[in-house]
Amino acid sequence: MSRVTQGIAFPPGLDSDGFIRGSIQTNVEDLMANLSEVDESTFQDEVLSSSGPVLVDFSAVWCGPCKMLDPIVEQLASELTGKLKVVKLDVDKSPNIAMQYQILGVPTLMLFVDGESRERINGYQPKDRILSKLNPHLQLN
């Protein structure tokens, strides 16, 4: 049943300011816990020197398609914990890294294995298409 506040009906689970409440919020927070942000000062250690595969989500806060891709990236981070490290990089805050890897548009996902770029996925893509590109590079049990 919807709540009505100041003439606006809010679906169950949403506060009047539009934020998700209850167990849904907890699930979002759990997904975000599997993601970390990298920048120019941490990219070498977190991505290039990592012992396992790393998926870098090159994005920007103003990017609509990036926001559409965020839930998929968060799901991948959660579902592939232990098999794949997932990090986000804001291209506006780290322009040198974006230029180094020729990021011409966002969102762009890049998979790094042993410090080398192995896969690039440009633009919004559905989860199954992203997984089909990543799976050959992951040691899935």
Query: Would you give the distance in Å from CA 12 to the centre of its chain?
Result: 27
35 or 32, which is more confident: 35
Please report the domains of the chain, with CATH numbers, ordered by start residue: 19-135 (3.40.30.10)
Average pLDDT over residues 11-36: 51
CA distance 120 to 122: 6
pLDDT in tens, 51-95: 999 999 999 999 999 999 999 999 999 999 999 999 999 999 999
Residue with tokens 């920007």: 60
Q: Is 66 a catalytic residue?
A: yes
Exactly one of 35, 38, 54, 66 is catalytic; name it. Answer: 66
Q: What is the pLDDT of residue 139?
A: 74
Q: Name the burial class of residue 39, with classes exposed (0-12), middle (13-18) and buried (19+) by CB atoms within 10 angstroms of its CB.
A: middle
Q: Is 120 a catalytic residue?
A: no
Exactly one of 38, 63, 72, 91 is catalytic; name it. Answer: 63
Work out the pLDDT band at 32, boundaries 50, 70, 90: low
Q: What is the pLDDT of residue 1?
A: 46
The angle formed by the CA atoms of residues 121, 125 and 128, to the nearest 5 degrees, is: 100
Query: 69, 29 in Cβ contact below 8 A?
Result: no
Q: What is the pTM of this model?
A: 0.77
Percent of the chain with pLDDT over 90: 72
